[in-house]
């Protein structure tokens, strides 16, 4: 399967990052989003992010211009149908993803590969709602996409070898490393990472340590580049909670029960950096712990 034209569904942080790396690798990218404002802002956001690479001499001004010229946008989801590969990077809600794939199916090319950037939802279940479960798989980038080197490739029960090989080829062309994961809740990275973050929230909830002491302990005691609560704020507490619920529901094990404090923060709308408050308050010049 030759892949040259790639559709990206979603112009949020992940969608913009995915379009960014695809375009720099020479792919023609067509992006869509339900928000016209997000689509209109995407070129500027991607350009500013590439500027950081230009400043570090990782990318030339010419390569930046060529990459931005490869990215087109459309307000119509169905315009992505004729592309060779579609990467869905919409919000982490199964109903939203299913609706996107169901809308796309009647407009797809015969050989178009469908993929989801989901961080936890069953690939087999998503694939079953399409006409091509053998050409459907998980294509999970890490955040921030231009920086992180890993991509999880997740096969559903029906995914064929040609589809896996084609997606692995895209990862290699991006200069990233593919990790093959089986289709179980949260795959590899989040199956390990999210329970650690959830346990850090329990440690806070039970008064074992403060936000500052928990994060500094893991940074200095375990050599983590970010503390778990700082990392949760970066990821988004709503996303962390959603993944913990997928683990808890999918594996039926009480060790994956989301911490009530995590639920409370999400109910308050304190979602982390994107809402200016989470385990830290970001409204001042320096982040301040909220507990």
So which residues are the catalytic ones? 119, 140, 152, 190
Strands 71-74 and 136-141: unpaired
How far is residue 260's CA from residue 13's CA, in Å, rounded to a whole number? Answer: 27
CA distance 91 to 162: 28
Number of H helices, E strands in the chain: 11, 10
DSSP 277: B
Distance CA 238, CA 196 (A): 16
Cα–Cα dist 14/140, whole Å? 10
**C-alpha distances in Å from residue 36, one per residue of 13, 40, 41, 55:** 15, 6, 9, 30
Q: Which tokens go with 78? A: 């169905």
Q: Single out the residue of 59, 71, 61 nearest to residue 23, CA to CA.
A: 71
What is the distance between the alpha carbons of residues 216 and 118, in angstroms, rounded to a whole number? 30
């Amino acid at each position: 399967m030759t892949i040259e034209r790639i559709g990206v569904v979603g112009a949020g942080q992940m969608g913009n990052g995915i379009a960014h790396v695809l375009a720099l690798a020479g792919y023609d990218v067509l992006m869509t989003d339900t928000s016209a404002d997000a689509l209109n802002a995407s070129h500027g956001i991607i350009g500013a992010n590439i500027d950081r690479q230009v400043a570090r001499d990782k990318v030339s001004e010419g390569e930046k211009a060529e990459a931005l010229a490869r990215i087109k946008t459309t307000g119509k989801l169905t315009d992505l149908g004729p592309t060779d590969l579609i990467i869905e990077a919409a919000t982490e809600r199964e109903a939203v993803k299913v609706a996107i794939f169901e809308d796309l199916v009647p407009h797809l090319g015969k050989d178009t590969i469908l993929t989801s950037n989901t961080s936890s939802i069953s690939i087999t279940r998503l694939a079953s709602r399409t006409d091509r479960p053998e050409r459907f798989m998980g294509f999970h980038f890490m955040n921030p996409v231009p920086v992180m080197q890993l991509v999880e490739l997740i096969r559903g029960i029906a995914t064929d070898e040609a589809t896996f090989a084609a997606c692995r080829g895209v990862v290699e062309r991006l200069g990233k490393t593919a990790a093959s994961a089986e289709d179980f809740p949260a795959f590899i990275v989040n199956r390990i990472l999210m329970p650690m973050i959830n346990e850090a929230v329990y440690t806070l909830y039970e008064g074992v340590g403060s936000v500052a002491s928990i994060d500094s302990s893991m940074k200095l005691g375990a050599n983590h580049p970010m503390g778990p609560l700082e990392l949760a704020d970066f990821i988004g507490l709503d996303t962390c909670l959603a993944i913990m619920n997928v683990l808890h529901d999918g594996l039926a094990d009480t060790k994956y029960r989301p911490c009530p404090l995590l639920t409370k923060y999400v109910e308050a709308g304190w979602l982390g950096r994107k809402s200016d408050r989470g385990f830290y308050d970001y409204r001042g010049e320096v982040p301040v712990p909220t507990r």
